[in-house]
Structure 1
Amino acid sequence: MRTRLLLPLLFISGCALEPGESFAVLEPAVRADYTPVAGRDEGNGFQRLASDFELRLDGAALGVDHIDLVGGGGTRGPTTFDPANPPPGYTNCHNGHCHHDDGALVDYEDIQAELDGGGGGAEATVASLHVDADLDLLADQTLSPDCEPSCELGRTHVSRYQWDVSSVMLEGAVRDSRATPRFNDERRFRLALAAAEEATPLMVLRGTVDIPADRENKPRVKLALRLALTPTLFDSLDWAATTPGPDGVVDLNAPENAAIRTAMVEALATLEPQAEVRREDR
């Protein structure tokens, strides 16, 4: 049972009131890149597509506002209370009780009951990784975003994540490799898309992950999130149906190129970011 003691008595007992350690600590890393395929190399940066077009990317960037990590409490079932490693809010466990940060002495049995009753929670955002950057897909760039509200997690199980993408920029050149080409020479192209409203992402990319935050797993979580684009993204696009502008460049934002723009956005929206998780001791 909880026993409320006066603060002076706690000082007399010599027990420090320090908060307990979190169940897990995130160390996130985020990157996005465009990776050419060796078997599709046609020289000078061009990659062969399934449509017999050849494409080269000269510029590519993805604007990412944040990445939400989503989980629920207790999806892995109850955890076992360990006096040597108490849950958040508890410290200095000895003689059958722990000190709570509100000044109470709480029996081991009551703490275990709290842990047992912590399961079954609805899914919610556990932490948001604030990327707030344009990721250059052609550069070797890895970011270490901050977590909101914290990179320290209470007891939960992170099962999925979602990238809120705010903008897409692509530019490059495309040519036809057929003996009878569908158009002559190279066609340069560009695409620049941005979310219509700041609070509404241009697209949301989703993936799954398995990160239990409990006392059965090592607490340090090195989470590497990566979005990889390859030339297969452009395989289904009909570049012969594009219309160059007066400057000879195919502006995919132009109304006459709406069909291929829509197809490209749909292809981008099917991408699934990948996650690599390594667990370590503190």
Structure 2
Amino acid sequence: MTRVLFAISEWGYWGEELIGPLEACDKAGYEVEFLTPTGNRPTPLAVSMAPGFVDPPQGKSVTSDDMAGRTRDLDASHRLDKPHNLADWVPVRPYPSSPTYLRDMEAYHQAIERIVSHDLPGYDALVIVGGSGAMVDLANNQRLHELVLGFVRLDRPIAAVCYGVATLAFARDPLRKLSLIRGKRVTGHPIDYDFHDGTGFEGPHAVDGSKKGFGDEYINFGPPFYPLEFILRDAVGPEGEFIGNVGHSESVIVDYPFITARSTESSVGCGRALVDVLDRNVRRYGW
């Protein structure tokens, strides 16, 4: 049976950006497992469960009644209760200041080799879910970078949605330190869709210890932490291309092994493309 691993932020995922690829995997009969950075149950962003929420840059609702309901139903189920703990699975990379740095790095590489050669072959694909939380604990997560590097090494597809695509930009060839997407065609959250204000995060991080938010259940960080489009344009280099497809209803790009989806509206398309890659050997789509 085809087995797919989903990486989800603990600081708030966008419901449709999980539901789109997840339901495609379910319909295709795949086995799905979930992973979060520290093993906490992921929390959907409240606005992704609020029908009629109007996205300011796009000037339209990006949360349908149907998708909001599906997100609430998934969150109310027990399906996400026990995700794998990335921190327990993949070791932290040693600091160069360690007095035993060389030996530490040897042990580190041996541990990563065991994961890539023993654990990862059990999975056929990796999906990195988007939402504002992905900026916090997925984009620059070196443990997740090692999984991405491992899936690339095994020639297995990696799908990423919206801000989840940033993980691909920051996952680097360990020797040349060039992005894995250098020379590739990708899409992602374009500058045209960035908030001027209102980028929020949610999850099990409240000052009162609850899992409902940050004490008052919401914190506003203003604009996004970074303009993803500019990062992706730089990461792909002169031989690659960022394709925003702004003004089009969907933007999904397959440049194997990477499947990238622009934002919420392209999440279902991301799931469709993932199935096409896994079941129909599609290697290029959308450009």
TM-score by length of 1: 0.23
Structure of higher RCO (CA pairs closer than 8 Å, 6+ residues apart):
1
Instruction: Give the alignment's TM-score, normalised by structure 2.
Output: 0.23
Instruction: Give the structure with higher Rg (CA).
Output: 1
Higher strand share: 1
